[in-house]
């Protein structure tokens, strides 16, 4: 724990959210401890203290605070709590990490700080790559009607600046670096979303703020590949996000309904109905699935955020 004095000027505080993933957390925190740019403090929000990660946190080699939550706050609430705690400690920079991901090398944080300072960015994200194949992206990045699935494809985007920055695009909960002042403008993740869509909603707010941010192509964050929920349609030319798990499906569609009703995403929402109607009624021949999708999207639009 820290004392009552604030952290020194320019301090970086790392924030990690975990739940029942001690083994992965060990690797994540070990990668943080090896960073060439110093981390002044680490905040770990533990959403599953019935299987506590306290020993892992205390053994990581970084001055740390373990914050147990006996009510599972999800990723949204966990990061909100951790980010607010980091601001209260006096952090100037806040570095976010998930428990099942890790920095690809010891220079990731130094690279993010350098680019953010030189280019006066409010937030800077590394490229999130597949831990099993670092040339592939862990999550495909859509640019217009094109889905980029590799680092090389992302680097070839015409909007890339000086070979190091893709402006206006970022993945926040896997290695992104924020200025503390940025969060005073855009806020922290919305607890109501719990999981699924919380990162997209924060991205929406940052984009609308007109603050400068982007993905730093010279830094990478390793994460398990996350494309299982994307189901192909029209011969693979389009995809629909359809989790097989009922809990994930509930939060995905309910939160998406809320998201596409917000300023900045309403045009996207206009495309959702024909795309999912085709997916459920033509590709899957599943009218009950489409009815479930409609019900959950309407629930989100009405801001009824009941837990599953």
CA distance 93 to 13: 6
Please name which of 254, 247, 246, 182 lies closest in space to residue 213, comparing C-alpha atoms: 182
Span 173-196, average pLDDT: 96
The whole-number average pLDDT for the span 285-291 is 95
Q: Does residue 298 or residue 141 have the better pLDDT?
A: 298
- Report residue 226 as tokens: 């996350």
Q: Name the CA dihedral angle for 204, 299, 270, 186, rounded to a multiple of 10 degrees.
A: -10
Q: Which are the contacts of 237, defined by CB distance < 8 A and separation ≥ 6?
A: none
Distance between CA atoms of residues 84 and 156, nearest Å? 36
pTM attached to this predicted model: 0.92
The pLDDT value recorded for residue 114 is 98
Q: Average pLDDT in the 170-177 region?
A: 95
Residue 217 confidence (pLDDT) = 96
pLDDT of residue 288: 95
The mean per-residue pLDDT over the stretch 197-214 comes to 96
Of the candidate ranges 60-74, 100-114, 123-137, 215-229, the one whose mean pLDDT is the lowest: 215-229
Give the residue from 45, 53, 41 showing the smallest Cα distance to 80: 45
* Token digits of residue 109: 């944080």
CB atoms within 10 A of CB 261: 15
| Predicted pLDDT at 54 | 97
What is the mean pLDDT of the segment spanning 289-294? 95
Mean pLDDT of the chain: 93
pLDDT at position 230: 78
Look at residue 144 in the predicted model and tell me its pLDDT: 67
Given CA atoms 44, 246, 221, 80 in this order, what sign does their dihedral have?
A: negative
The reported pLDDT for the residue numbered 234 is: 76
- Rounded to whole angstroms, how far apart are CA atoms 221 and 224? 10
Tens digits of residue pLDDT in 12-59: 999 999 999 999 999 999 999 999 999 999 999 999 999 999 999 999
Residue 5's pLDDT is 80
Q: What secondary structure does DSSP assign to the chain, as a single string?
A: ---SSPPPTT-EEEEEEESS-HHHHHHHHHHHHT-SSPPSEEEEEES-TTS--HHHHHTSSS-EEEEE-SS--HHHHHHHHHHHHHHHHT-SEEEEEETT-EESSTTHHHHHHHHHHHTT-SEEEEEEEETTEEEEEEEEEEETTEEEEEHHHHHT-TT-BTTTEEET----TTT-EEEHHHHHHH----GGG-SSSHHHHHHHHHHHHT--EEEEEEEEEEE----TTEEEEGGGTEEEE--SSHHHHHHHHHHHHHHTTSTTSHHHHHHHHHHHHIIIIIIS--HHHHHHHHHHHHHHHTT-----
Task: Find how far residue 106's CA is from the centre of its chain.
Answer: 21
Contact 221, 104 (CB under 8 A): yes
């Amino acid at each position: 724990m820290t004392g009552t004095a604030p952290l020194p000027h320019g301090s970086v505080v790392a924030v990690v959210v975990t739940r029942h993933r001690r083994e992965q957390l060990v690797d994540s925190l070990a990668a943080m401890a090896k960073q060439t740019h110093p981390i002044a403090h680490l905040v770990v929000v533990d959403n599953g203290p019935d299987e506590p990660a306290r020993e892992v946190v205390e053994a990581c080699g970084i001055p740390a605070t373990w914050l147990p939550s006996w009510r599972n706050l999800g990723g949204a609430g966990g990061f909100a709590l951790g980010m607010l705690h980091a601001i209260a400690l006096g952090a100037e920079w806040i570095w976010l990490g998930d428990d099942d991901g890790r920095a690809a090398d010891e220079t990731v944080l130094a690279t993010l700080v350098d680019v953010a300072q030189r280019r006066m960015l409010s937030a800077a994200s590394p490229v999130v790559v597949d831990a099993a194949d670092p040339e592939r992206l862990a999550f495909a990045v859509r640019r217009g009607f094109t889905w980029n699935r590799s680092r090389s494809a992302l680097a070839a985007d015409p909007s890339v600046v000086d070979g190091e920055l893709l402006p206006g695009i970022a993945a926040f909960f896997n290695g992104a670096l924020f200025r503390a002042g940025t969060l005073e403008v855009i806020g922290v993740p919305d607890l109501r979303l719990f999981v699924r869509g919380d990162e997209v909603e924060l991205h929406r707010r940052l984009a609308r703020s007109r603050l400068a941010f982007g993905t730093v192509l010279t830094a990478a964050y390793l994460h398990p590949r996350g494309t299982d929920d994307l189901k192909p349609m029209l011969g693979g030319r389009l995809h629909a996000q359809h989790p097989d798990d009922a809990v994930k499906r509930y939060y995905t569609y309910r939160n998406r309904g809320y998201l596409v009703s917000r300023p900045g995403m309403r045009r996207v929402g206009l495309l959702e109905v024909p795309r999912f109607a085709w997916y459920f009624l033509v590709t899957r021949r599943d009218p009950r699935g489409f009815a479930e999708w409609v019900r959950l999207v309407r629930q989100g639009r009405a801001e009824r955020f009941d837990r599953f």
